[in-house]
Amino acid sequence: FSHPIAMEGEEILFSAAICGIPYGNQLGSENLLNYVEYLTALVPRTQETLLVRGDEYVKHGFLRQKTIEAYLYRAIEEDLFEVYYQPIYSLKEKCVVSLEALVRLKDEKLGAIPPDEFIPLAEQNGTITQISEIVLEECCRFLAKHVLPNPSLGIRTIHVNIAAAQCLNRNLKESILPVLERYHVPTHMITLELTERTAIEAPKLMLWHMQEFGKIGMGFAMDDYGSGNSNCSYLIRFPFREIKIDKNMTWSYFENPTAKIVIENEIKTIQKLGLPLIMEGVEKKEQSDALEALGVDMIQGYYYGKPMPETECLRYIRRMHFAKEEYGKS
Ligand code: C2E
Ligand code: CA
Ligand code: CA
């Protein structure tokens, strides 16, 4: 396996792994092959010799993954997903101007299953497409019922996360637009969030999607900026309308003096390009004040509210408006 094999002009590299599975028979033959896949995926791809041995801890992780995967299918069938909304606060307007929709999944036995755990599984098994449809439908229902009839809430858009698998579909627009039409939601009220990892998976197709959505007034925000091998080239290549700086970048800005210099420059570049900037992961007043002084436009973080169910979120926004008016009077 040390040399690539040529096939139709492409060089294909193969790798092999030797897996040790103590008491493999306890897993049942139907799970054994999946377990081998799970084990090999745990080893970094760059590692050349693979000798993997599954211990009890690894086996436990595998079985939890299987349980969650089975629950995902049930949750789709039985409509068990919930959508929470996290405020995006404008430092200039001093109010909540957008929300990010974040999916939630709970089970009596498993408790709350974090999206960081089930979204990657849903991406692997393809159920992400159905989950995204559920989330989008829920957002449009929420906008039609609460936001469109109440302009005084000041909510301009809901940010919805889209996954790589959705972007590989040329009919992405055709799968999204009818949902908005059904609820009479204007296209500018949904912003699609895309990570740089997703954008580079199929860059030409992604660029085409962005242009197509642009024609109907729907914009994209770059999510988790700075979490991957990000550099300013993404800002040049793709017509993003907003940039969201990843929460780990925000945290290192306040912890690491070198990171602070680098991030300050990134912020300046984004500002010079005229792109609205959202900093994620702001948890303290001092952090918000420091970013306001830098001219950052918007903040998303626990300081301005955690993700909440819709009723709580509406109550929260109204309370913020009330506090702003009272402050204005005094
Ligand atoms: P994300 O898109 O980067 O969403 C922001 C995450 O940061 C959320 O985690 C939010 O709760 C968390 N967060 C926001 N502010 C703070 C803060 O101040 N401190 C801390 N410690 N955390 C903060 P959550 O809801 O657990 O979601 C995790 C990830 O799962 C999301 O990261 C997104 O990649 C994915 N995800 C969630 N909902 C969806 C969805 O509907 N569709 C897709 N495709 N992915 C989703
Ligand atoms: Ca996001
Ligand atoms: Ca993010």
Residues with CB under 6 A from ligand 1: 86, 101-103, 114-116, 119, 132, 135, 161, 163, 223-224, 247, 280-283, 300-302, 307
Q: What is the DSSP letter of 4?
A: P
Q: Which atom of ligand 1 is nearest to the CA of 102?
A: 38
Instruction: Identify the nearest ligand to the CA of 225 by its number.
Output: 3
pLDDT on residue 48: 61
* Per-residue pLDDT, 89: 97
Distance (Å, whole) CA 330 – CA 235:
43
State in Å: Cα 75 to ligand 2 middle: 22
Query: What distance in angstroms lies between residue 249's CA and the mean position of ligand 3's atoms?
Result: 11
Return the SS3 of 117: helix
Q: Which residues contact 15 (CB under 8 A, 6 or more apart)?
A: 1, 48, 50
CA 159 to chain centre: 10
pLDDT score, position 253? 97
pLDDT at 229: 66
Cα of 204 vs centre of ligand 3, distance in Å, is: 23
> Which regions in the chain score pLDDT beneath 70?
1, 8, 44-50, 229-231
Give pLDDT, residue 19: 77
| Residue of the CA atom closest to atom 3 of ligand 1 | 224
Taking only Cα atoms into account, the Rg of the chain, rounded to an integer number of angstroms, comes to 22
Helix (H, G, I), strand (E, B) or coil at 138: helix
Q: How far, in Å, is the centroid of ligand 3 from the Cα of 223?
A: 5
User: Which residues, other chains included, contact 8 with Cβ-Cβ below 8 Å and sequence gap of 6+?
Assistant: none
Helix H or strand E encompassing 220: strand 219-225
Residue 7, pLDDT score:
73
Burial 18-33 (b: 16+ CB within 10 A, else e): ebebeebeebeeeeee
Which structure tokens are listed for 210? Answer: 């962005």
- From residue 209, give the alpha-carbon distance in Å to each of 161, 181, 193: 15, 19, 13
Is pTM beyond 0.85 here? yes
265-302 burial: b if 16+ Cβ within 10 Å, else e:
ebbeebbeeebbbbbbbbeeeebbeebeeeebbbbbbe
Check residue 133 and give its pLDDT. 96
